[in-house]
Structures are given as C-alpha cells and as structure tokens.
Homo-oligomer: A and B are copies of this chain.
C-alpha cells in the first residue's frame, strides 16, 4: 500500500481489522486456485498495460452496473435515484483497486484489507465508509458473479497493450484467479461461523 488522498482508502492502516484467515491459509487457497508465481508476474506485467487505461475501464464497469437495476440498487438512495456522490467516492477506490490487484502483493496488510472490502459490501459495513444512505447490503451472489463481467471486459484492454496472444491470455487467466481469490475473501463476513 502507499499513502494516497483517496477518502476511505485505508489499506495498510490501523483502521483495517485483522483478517480471520492466516497467511498459511491464504497460501492453501492460492494453491487451490492454481495461482503460482507465473500468475503474480503476469499480474504485475498487466499493471503496466492497464495503468493508463483505468478511467476507461471504470467507464465500462460503471456502464454495466448502471445498465442493470439489480446491481445499481447497491448505489440507490432513499429517493430511488443513484447516489452520485457515493458512486464517485467508490469509483476513486475502484481505480486504485485495479492497480492494487495488478501489484499482487499478498501480505498481511493486503489480506486484512480484503476483509475490510468484504465488510463494505456486507450489511455489517455497507455505506459506513462514505456515510451513504443507499441499500444496506449487496447480495453475495452478485459479489461473486461480478468476477465474469470484470475479467471479461478487461481482456480487450489487456490485448490493446500490444502483447502477443499467449501473453494476453496469461494476464487474463491471472486476473481471473486474482479476482476470484478476492471475491472469495470478501465472502467471509457473509458466511455462518465456522463455515468459511
């Protein structure tokens, strides 16, 4: 992590709770996902390709959410309208999330921040960071399902960096693993005690 001026971006700070998962358990989870050093290297190379394209990528993702009322509901205020300030605040952290995912530094601070991100999707922490008054919860099934639109719409951006098709595929597969790893970790607050 690094110092930023992004409100609510608490990665690496004392404001983040400890993950209930240990680093050893994280390694077993990575092994289950077939995530190896080659994937971490591919993610880091992807960061160079994506760094200048973050706003365009977010335009696509926000367009998808905006076109799906059942997803836009996460940002809908008590007046039934999308909360633009909330959307904008989340977007600044989402920009940063792309770069953090590409950095692929799976240490304790990173693991802890995944727990915080999970809490911010779940009813136990939704809206808290931004003082929003939107829906108080995002259903787990949609959090998990977003793996597909996020990684599918990313692929053209990976391809436009001029890499060979095999390299684009390697970066894409690494992104699928990295996003799945994260949405799995984000699911922890949703799961019954002892079941995660």
A interface residues (Cβ-Cβ under 8 A, vs B): 28-29, 31-35, 68, 70-71, 122-123, 137, 139-142, 144-149, 152, 173, 176-177, 180-181, 183-185, 187, 190-192, 194-196
Classify the interface of chain A: helix, strand, loop or mixed.
helix
Complex copy number for this chain: 2
Shortest Cβ distance from A153 into B: residue: B34
A145 to B25 Cα, complex, angstroms: 13
A144 to B186 Cα, complex, angstroms: 12
Residues in B neighbouring A191, C-beta threshold 8 A? 140, 190-192
Answer whether A196 and B141 are a contact pair too, CB < 8 Å, given A148-B180, A180-B147: yes
User: Are A70 and B122 in touch, CB under 8 angstroms?
Assistant: no
Residues in B neighbouring A71, C-beta threshold 8 A? 32
15 A-B pairs (CB sep. < 8 Å): A32-B68, A32-B70, A32-B71, A32-B142, A32-B146, A34-B149, A140-B184, A140-B191, A141-B184, A144-B180, A144-B183, A145-B184, A176-B176, A190-B192, A191-B192
